[in-house]
Amino acid sequence: NAGVTQTPKFQVLKTGQSMTLQCAQDMNHEYMSWYRQDPGMGLRLIHYSVGAGITDQGEVPNGYNVSRSTTEDFPLRLLSAAPSQTSVYFCASSTQYPPSTEAFFGQGTRLTVV
């Protein structure tokens, strides 16, 4: 099973460039989310979606855009990259229906903005 697939694994951007981080899941989960992980800060929620066509902001949404046109895909767009967006990004999917209510994570994207 593929689970949650993130691409790319590594990316270097110049300040002001834009890019899209891809995330796909094959578990038919209704919930998908993007987190960023920074040292000492844990995982902070950027945006999330509770189903196709529905998205909402998390704790740190500024500078990022998302859309959810299908159940499977949830891309994260950086509109104009800034050095403060240097981080490791994780995509996750989950369902509200027990017993498998835990979040399943991708392997992460390590982004450096120079």
Partner 1 sequence: AQSVTQLDSQVPVFEEAPVELRCNYSSSVSVYLFWYVQYPNQGLQLLLKYLSGSTLVKGINGFEAEFNKSQTSFHLRKPSVHISDTAEYFCAVSDQSGGSYIPTFGRGTSLIVHP
Positions touching partner 1 (CB under 8 A) are: 31, 33, 35, 40-45, 48, 50, 56, 58, 90, 92, 94, 96, 98-99, 101-103, 105-108
CB closer to partner 1, 14 vs 97: 97
Dihedral (C-alpha) 48, 21, 63, 86: value to the nearest 10 degrees? 110
Strands 109-113 and 104-105: unpaired
The token pair that represents 108 in the structure block: 């992460």
Work out how close the CB of 14 gets to partner 1 at its nearest, in angstroms, rounded to a whole number.
Answer: 24
CB closer to partner 1, 44 vs 77: 44
CB closer to partner 1, 70 vs 107: 107
The token pair that represents 6 in the structure block: 């993130």
**Contact at 8 Å (CB) between 3 and 103?**
no
